Amino acid sequence: MMQGGKGDRDSFTSKFGVLAALAGSAIGLGNIWRFPYVVGQNGGGAFLLIYVIFIAAIGVPVMMSEFMIGRSARLNPVGAFKKNAPGTKWHLVGMLGVVSVFIIFAFYTVVAGWTLEYVVQSVRWILFPAKFGFESMNNDALTLFFSDHYDSFTQGIWRPIIWFVVMMCLTGYIVISGVKNGIEKYTKILMPIFLVLLLILVSRSISLEGGREGLVFLFKPDFTQIREAPFRIVLEALGQAFFSLSIGMGTLITYGSYIKRKENLAGTAVSVVAADTFVAILAGIAIFPAVFAFGIDPADGPDLVYKTLPVIFQNMAGGLIWAFLFFVLLCFAAITSTISMLEVIVAYFSEQLNMSRKKATILSMISAGFLGIICTVSPDVFGIFNASPDLMLPLGGFFIVVFIGWFFSGEKSKQELSSDGAFKIRYYRLFMFLVKFVAPLAIAFLFALGVYSKVINIFPSLG
């Protein structure tokens, strides 16, 4: 990787490449794996409504802010803040993003590795169906079979570690290839195919008998559960919005640094947010009708996708083949997110420590790999890492909008948003109002309430 020079730095080469890479960063396990079970654990439609409000009112302006910081400096998160605010401590916000993505990357790659396990097992199920007795199984037996398989796999040690290492190596291979020949090249191919498969899955899921209850659960707000734990749920909605959009962890600053000046940052942000939200809702439509049709608890937790989806496929013509294709593409969707996270760490090492891209990638893989293996063998560490986005990402997002709203030059903001006058920015006053007042106040308030709620859960006597 070149060392930040504006003339020789790698960048995205086309508008579609920009959207594919950014959507690939946002669309991944956060939508297909994490979003459905978080919705299931937090009241369904009411949680979805809060989530969408956060996406529109906070997610879009924060994403635009990160793009502005990255593109204006054309550096990694730490270097970008140093260049935009020299002689200040603002670079610590960039460091918070790098640390956040380092932690999230470790546990996320563990879960991404699970998709490889299911790709391999899908091949076995296709080749040897009689061995597993699928033909004689009813839905209850299928649910039990896939639940047992998931539990035995995730509670093991060596297979999860092996798949984690394989996923880490695949991610590293793409990142070493660079922005244009690695990240952009692969995401332009993988994301459209993934979307087609997801739409096919949706069409099958909503046709299941009893599936209507799942759609009601997803789209009809019931605020009963919200009233029981409002602080925790709103913070989880905000954390999921940030996690799903890759906000607050330096990814968008890094990717923003690869966006050429001819691109419209606002249009790009809106497109990415719309695509991400659309896929998250599609994932819910694909999963919750099946959850209710087969009597599965919607609050089943992180294993919801791995227990539910195989049962859905078994009720489709050629179901095992569809299962194989879906898990292959889910694996690809996971990779588009892991490469965006690894790229943040690699950009930091290569630019701040003056390393070659190859050395920076290898160092990043080894250091994150050590943490990921601990996460793999320790359910407690995994749980802590999985919960970290709810706190770390809103904190990073808070400082980012404060920086843009109160410390970044107004003239420079207009230059970035308009691409040096190429685009009209009639929304500028609204944008500044959101980043100066609405976003930071909302994030700070909800963050404080969430922290208070977590402290009370640990120390009830303080309530």
Domains of the chain from N-terminus onward: 15-457 (1.20.1740.10)
| Residue 151 to residue 262: CA distance in whole angstroms | 49
Determine the pLDDT at residue 163. 96
Average pLDDT on 80-93 reads 95
CA atoms within 13 A on the CB side of 60: 21
How many CB atoms sit inside 10 A of residue 28's CB? 31
Single-letter code of the amino acid located at 124: R
Residues 6+ apart with CB under 8 A from 232: 450, 453, 454, 457
d(CA 102, CA 281): 27
Give the closest residue to 61 by CA, choosing from 446, 450, 443.
443
Two tokens at 209? 């008998």
- CB hemisphere CA count around 358 (13 angstroms): 0
Query: Alpha-carbon distance 62 to 67, whole Å?
Result: 9
- Count CB-CB contacts under 10 A for residue 216: 15
Q: Report the alpha-carbon distance of residue 241 to residue 245 in Å, rounded.
A: 6
Q: Distance (Å, rounded) from C-alpha 232 to C-alpha 456?
A: 11
What token pair was written down for 39? 């919705």
φ/ψ (deg, to 5) at 291: -55, -45
pLDDT score, position 6? 40
CA dist 456 and 64 (Å) reads 35
Q: Comparing 53 with 450, which gets the higher pLDDT?
A: 53
Distance of alpha carbon 267 from its chain centroid, rounded?
Answer: 20
Q: Could you tell me the sign of the dihedral formed by the alpha carbons of 329, 333, 338, 344, in that order?
A: positive
Judged by DSSP in three states, 409 sits in coil
Torsion of CA 74, 77, 80, 85, to 10 degrees: 160
Cα of 249 vs its chain's centroid, Å: 11
Q: Which residue has the higher pLDDT, 383 or 114?
A: 114
Q: Which helix (DSSP H) or strand (DSSP E) does residue 68 occupy?
A: helix 60-73
Cβ atoms within 10 Å of 357's Cβ, excluding its own? 21
Two structure tokens written together for 203: 């069409």
Report the 10 Å Cβ neighbour count for 196.
10
Nearest to 335, CA basis, from 224, 153, 187 = 187
Rounded to two decimals, what is the model's pTM?
0.85
Q: For the chain, what is the mean pLDDT?
A: 84
Residues 6+ apart with CB under 8 A from 126: 320, 321, 324
pLDDT tens column, 56-69: 989 999 999 999 99
435 vs 439: CA distance, rounded Å: 5
Query: 365 with 168: CB under 8 angstroms?
Result: yes
Q: Which residue has the higher pLDDT, 139 or 425?
A: 425
Burial class (CB in 10 A: 0-12, 13-18, 19+), 213: middle
pLDDT one-digit tens code per residue, 224-255: 777 777 777 887 888 788 878 888 888 999 98
CA–CA separation, 307 vs 291, rounded Å?
Answer: 10
Read off the pLDDT of residues 2-38 as tens digits, 9 standing for 90 and up.
334 344 456 666 676 666 767 666 677 778 777 888 8
pLDDT on residue 1: 37
Residue 44, phi then psi, degrees to nearest 5? 70, -120
Region 345-374 average pLDDT: 93
| pLDDT attached to residue 179 | 67
Give me the sign of the Cα torsion angle 401, 403, 404, 410: positive
Which residues make beta-bridge pairs with 403? none
Write the DSSP assignment of 349-384 as a string of letters.
HHHHS---HHHHHHHHHHHHHHHHHHHHH-HHHHHH
H helix runs in 155-264, sequence order: 158-176, 185-205, 212-219, 224-228, 230-245, 251-256
Of the candidate ranges 33-47, 118-132, 173-187, 408-422, the one whose mean pLDDT is the lowest? 173-187
Tokens of 318: 């050629």
Q: Check residues 423 and 182 and name the one with the higher pLDDT.
A: 423
Which residues does residue 74 pair with via DSSP β-bridges, in sequence order? none
What percentage of residues in the chain have a pLDDT greater than 70?
88
